[in-house]
Structure 1
């Protein structure tokens, strides 16, 4: 049990910086190239307002991070079993949050940014199903904000990568918690029968 608790705590500590990075990346999406003009004029892409990184990969990920790091503070066996079950539920919350962040970031990459083109404000890459990602020569269609395509691609790829890491970590703890929930009672029965 001590090994599994230590493993869960290390996973929780790994989740904290990932969640913080997701929050920062999502906040940077709100301010293209560090400017507040576009948020005031409501010229940001619609997907940014769903807060995939801030909510899913960030704040929601703090639930499993805190649950994993505080696991095993009680010495009572019943509490340890209950805490492992709680860590499984927290892992499920983390899986949902990271999946939300991943799906939203992927959709945002496919849609492309809202920007000012020669035809006005629009989503010039929305109908390309992500082909624009491999055609950097087309990115100059976006006149304002300057370098918005590169800005969005970079931050959304960061969010995708962080979401994958968070998902893997929560999946590991889900497996760890389930194995302990199933095996721990069996181990106690065997120890009891050997001692008797």
Structure 2
């Protein structure tokens, strides 16, 4: 596969932090019509020894969604990693997975894989990380193979649990990891692994 890598200054993949406001974070699919956590009774900011200021979220449904309402750009030929660090502070131990909304043209949801591997959080108070990679083809290390129609994603996680689980979430991180998937050789000029 031929990939032309150019660094485009100003391309920001990282979602807003929770401290910047919960109006950027949805309990739905992340689209503008989905509701936000801004006034939700089961979400708020907490000060945590491991994370600092973070999101504390209590499950109110068997699948509690958390999606960034901003559109994270997806570029053809690139590999994007979505990850989150979190821990359970109370209640039943949940399963968690990265989950996305694959978008094409504005307002168009594409029929592409949208969830990463499920991870069981096995202990209270322990920091776990969950991640998934969007890529242009199905190969080892790619969890969400997306074709060139994909232009953006609403990214986040799903908590799969009985109601009443309380988790703290450091942040949702997104970075371009295309370099991991390039053949060994000289680094192409102008490319930066974000």
TM score, norm. by length of structure 2: 0.23
Structure of higher CA gyration radius: 1
Q: Which has the larger helix fraction?
A: 1
TM score, norm. by length of structure 1: 0.23
Q: Which has the larger strand fraction?
A: 2
